[in-house]
Amino acid sequence: MNIYTIFQQTNLQRVSDGEIVPMISGCETARRLLVIVCPQLGDFDSLEYAWWLQRERGQLESMGVAVRMVGIGDRSAGKKFCEFTEFPAEYLFVDAHAELHSQLDLYAGLSLKLPSFSATQNAWVNLILMCAGIGSPGTLREVFRGYRGDRSAPQLIADEEIINAKPLPPIAGSFFKLAGGSGFQRPFELATLRLRNMAEVLGNWQTYVPDPTYLTQRGGTFLFDNREVLLYEHRDRGILGFAANMNQPLSFLDSNLSRTEVS
């Protein structure tokens, strides 16, 4: 079974109304279909990916790209996720047991099993090891990039924006000018956004992660044209690896949207 058919035949709970419906219904007339299969909705990658999608929402709409996102969790987790990220609830679906991830053969993460440890305890151990880069290639490099900045990445926080990232005091976007200027990702800029995400999840842990069994599960990105042909895919291999090009995660759209359309 090809990937598009899997999506076409998958019914999941839609966060906006709680209905169980085909996850890509309503996308038939779109020029492109972008399906994001996320890890836990409380995962760093899920929150950061949604931030990028919202940042580029206007451009995606003008390009005729329909977006559907699936995350591990329940509807309460989905509603909280949409409240924080402002991702449209009608385009978010939840998969409580990562069944779609299994169908797509996405990376389940490190899976060490320590004797006498429960499934939840083992999941935590494996997650901690992955955060240290074990079984999660590129994670530490990406963490350090968030602190040191990246001149090949765009500026992430506007000068007039105020970021609340506990335990830090509110930070004005103009503060990051002091770290090197503007017009690119400044030192500590991305790390501050990630700290904000972490504070949000830890403060609402039971809502975001109702079942920690799937803490290590990774996701994937799939782009289709209007003939149901797979144009692009990315399968996450580690934490903070939700894109092939993390400095501009949606850059894969540029080349794929320029291909010849079928009317």
Pairing state between β 32-40 and 171-172: unpaired
* Residue 20 predicted with pLDDT over 50: yes
DSSP 241: -
pLDDT of residue 256: 76
pLDDT of residue 258: 61
Q: Which residues pair with 20 in a beta bridge?
A: 13
CA–centroid distance for 30 within its chain: 22
Q: What percentage of the chain has pLDDT greater than the value 90?
A: 87
For the entire predicted model, the pTM comes to 0.94
CA–centroid distance for 81 within its chain: 11
pLDDT of residue 260: 45
* Residue 263 predicted with pLDDT over 60: no
Mean pLDDT score of the chain: 94
Nearest Cα to Cα of residue 127 among 62, 216, 193: 216
Per residue in 122-168, pLDDT (tens digit) is: 999 999 999 999 999 999 999 999 999 999 999 999 999 999 888 88
pLDDT of residue 259: 56
Nearest Cα to Cα of residue 144 among 132, 135, 126, 134: 132
